[in-house]
């Protein structure tokens, strides 16, 4: 091909990518803003839980980060709304001092003003150099959008972005999910992700050998978890680790954060458990939590082709026929509802519905390089955070993939998390 033609092709390809990024940013933003429909100022500013900032803070922070990275650092424009810097920077004020916020209308004006300049900049920005950052920003917003959902959930506000509820695509099978396990044969697989949207903590792709192990076909259901509660699981010290028991005594709990005794939810995954509760249930069941490598192999590895899949079902982007995500349903669904989304090894319900705790501490893979700043992942490689996989019913499509890693302190139970078990 001559140079002139190849240059034209790569330019038009760049323009397509600009267009695609713009559309994704708009789509992501429309989901974010839908969550604020009908939210009053008190709810906007309320700190529902000491571990989480008010929803209004998250909204302003989204604008701040977009402005900081694209307008200040890349476009080298002077800061917009410098009076918001201290309030909306992640290292500005402690969480409990983030309640004195501009109104929703003022915050939207901040978002819109930043967005106008960002799209103007996008027209000529050096995407060849910057695409990774633009893709990171979409994921940054969508992760805060998910946190906004967590906080609204804590405030008792129902979210459901589907026209009808439950989503018409969800077919509820009559056969109950079981506690059956799938055996994964010993061998190597490829862990991680090196595509343009992969976050720093997903890189580098590396080969991992695992011995034969078994992993639950389904996440642990409310029905199964009830047997643990009824057997006195919350009162039996033998089932708990020392730190788990200590945590339990301090908080005197006897059921998950989002527990209801409604038997109609028996096939739904248990939701709102801390890592300690997951660990105690696994002990009760004579099992253990999977490592994140075990989770990822069972979800992403295609042993016939010897290759990684981006999603358990292959490469098709997530939609509401494949998994419960993006606030479409606005609550959990039965763990066997999405029959066509099984992984190569036959695991169900791995993406969406509830996050799944793993036994692994959050850490960098070999060759880890921070991006875009060490505060994104690296400061959490502190032996205090456990890895969660798979995403929840509130995770956007940009955070749903087999290699995606989330992390929280083991005591956190406000995040729509459940788990599945493994054994050796
Ligand atoms: C990966 C969800 C734990 O919310 O603290 C957002 C994501 N990092 N802004 C968080 C994040 C910086 C992070 N989690
Ligand atoms: Fe952030």
Cα of 46 vs centre of ligand 2, distance in Å, is 18
Q: Which atom of ligand 1 is nearest to the CA of 147?
A: 4
Cα of 153 vs centre of ligand 2, distance in Å, is 19
Domain match, 192 and 150 both: no
Domain match, 280 and 386 both: yes
Q: Based on the number of CB atoms within 10 Å of its own CB, is 366 exposed (0-12), middle (13-18) or buried (19 or more)?
A: exposed
- Give the angle subtended at the CA of 17 by the CAs of 198 and 378, to the nearest 5°: 20
Domain match, 22 and 59 both: yes
Q: What pLDDT is attached to residue 196?
A: 96
Pocket test for ligand 1, best of 59, 133, 143 (most atoms within 8 A of CB): 143
Cα of 63 vs centre of ligand 2, distance in Å, is 10
Domain match, 250 and 131 both: no
Query: pLDDT tens digit string along 259-294?
Result: 998 898 999 999 999 999 999 999 999 999 999 999
173 within domain boundaries: no
Read off the CATH number of the domain in which 47 is found.
1.20.120.450
Query: pLDDT tens digit string along 132-173?
Result: 999 999 999 999 999 999 999 999 998 777 654 555 455 666
170 within domain boundaries: no
Contact 63, 88 (CB under 8 A): yes
- Smallest CA-to-CA distance from 329 within 216, 172, 220 is with 172
Q: In 1-40, where does DSSP find H-type helix?
A: 3-34
CB count within 10 Å of CB 1 equals 7
Contact 394, 416 (CB under 8 A): yes
Query: pLDDT tens digit string along 59-106?
Result: 999 999 999 999 999 999 999 999 999 999 999 999 999 999 999 999
Q: What pLDDT is attached to residue 322?
A: 96
385 within domain boundaries: yes
Domain match, 270 and 401 both: yes
Q: What pLDDT is attached to residue 354?
A: 98
Domain match, 186 and 329 both: yes
Domain match, 211 and 271 both: yes
Domain match, 152 and 45 both: yes
The residue ranking higher by pLDDT, 164 or 112, is 112
Cα of 143 vs centre of ligand 1, distance in Å, is 6
Which residues constitute the domain of residue 138? 2-158
Going by alpha carbons, the residue nearest to atom 12 of ligand 1 is 376
* Number of domains forming the structure of the chain: 2
Contact 412, 207 (CB under 8 A): no
The CA distance from 332 to 349, in Å, is 11
Domain match, 63 and 142 both: yes
Strands (E), 274-349: 301-302, 307-308
Q: Which two tokens stand for residue 169?
A: 């695509």
- Smallest CA-to-CA distance from 143 within 405, 424, 422 is with 405
The residue ranking higher by pLDDT, 375 or 10, is 375
Ligand 1 pocket residue status of 143, Cβ below 6 Å: yes
- Smallest CA-to-CA distance from 197 within 1, 403, 35 is with 403
Q: Which two tokens stand for residue 61?
A: 């922070």
Ligand 1 pocket residue status of 58, Cβ below 6 Å: no
Read off the CATH number of the domain in which 356 is found.
3.90.1580.10
- Asked whether the predicted pLDDT for residue 215 surpasses 80, the reply is yes
Cα of 144 vs centre of ligand 2, distance in Å, is 7
* Edge-to-edge strand list for the sheet holding 355-361: 405-408, 386-389, 355-361, 417-418
Contact 172, 337 (CB under 8 A): yes
Domain match, 153 and 188 both: no
Q: Based on the number of CB atoms within 10 Å of its own CB, is 378 exposed (0-12), middle (13-18) or buried (19 or more)?
A: middle
Domain match, 248 and 372 both: yes
Query: pLDDT tens digit string along 224-243?
Result: 999 999 999 999 999 999 99
Pocket test for ligand 1, best of 147, 391, 404 (most atoms within 8 A of CB): 147
């Amino acid at each position: 091909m001559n140079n002139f033609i190849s240059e034209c092709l790569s330019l038009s390809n760049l323009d397509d990518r600009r267009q695609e990024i713009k559309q994704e940013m708009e789509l992501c933003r429309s989901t974010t803003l839908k969550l604020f429909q009908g939210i009053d100022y008190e709810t906007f500013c309320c700190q529902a839980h000491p571990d989480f900032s008010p929803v209004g803070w998250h909204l302003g922070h989204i604008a701040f980060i977009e402005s900081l990275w694209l307008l200040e650092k890349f476009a080298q424009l002077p800061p917009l709304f410098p009076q918001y810097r201290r309030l909306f920077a992640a290292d500005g004020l402690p969480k409990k001092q983030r309640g004195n916020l501009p109104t929703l209308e003022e915050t939207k004006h901040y978002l819109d003003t930043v967005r106008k300049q960002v799209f103007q900049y996008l027209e000529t920005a050096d995407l060849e150099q910057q695409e990774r950052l633009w893709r990171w920003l979409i994921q940054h917003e969508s992760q805060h959008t998910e946190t906004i959902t967590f906080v609204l959930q804590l405030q008792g506000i129902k979210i459901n972005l589907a026209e009808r509820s439950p989503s018409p695509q969800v077919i509820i099978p009559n056969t109950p999910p079981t506690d059956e396990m799938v055996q994964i044969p010993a061998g190597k697989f490829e862990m991680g992700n090196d595509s343009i949207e992969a976050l720093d903590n997903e890189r580098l792709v590396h080969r991992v050998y695992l011995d034969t192990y078994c992993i639950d076909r389904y996440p642990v259901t409310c029905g199964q978890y009830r047997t643990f509660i009824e057997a006195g699981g919350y009162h039996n010290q033998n089932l708990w680790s020392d730190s788990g028991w200590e945590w339990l005594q301090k908080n005197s709990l006897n059921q998950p954060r989002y527990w209801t005794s409604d038997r109609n939810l028996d096939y739904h995954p248990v939701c709102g458990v801390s890592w300690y509760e997951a660990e105690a249930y696994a002990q009760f069941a004579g099992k253990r939590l999977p490592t994140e490598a075990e989770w990822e192999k069972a979800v992403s590895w295609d042993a016939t082709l010897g290759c990684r899949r981006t999603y358990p079902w292959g490469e098709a982007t997530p939609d509401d026929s494949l998994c419960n995500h993006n606030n479409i349903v606005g609550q959990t669904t039965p763990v066997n509802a999405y029959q066509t989304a099984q992984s190569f090894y036959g695991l169900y319900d791995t993406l969406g519905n509830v996050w799944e705790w793993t036994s692994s501490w959050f850490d960098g893979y070999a060759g880890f390089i921070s991006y875009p700043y060490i505060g994104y992942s690296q400061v959490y490689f502190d032996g205090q955070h456990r890895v969660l996989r798979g995403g929840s019913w509130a995770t956007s499509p940009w955070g749903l993939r087999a290699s995606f890693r989330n992390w929280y302190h083991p005591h956190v139970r406000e995040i729509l998390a459940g788990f599945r078990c493994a054994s050796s």
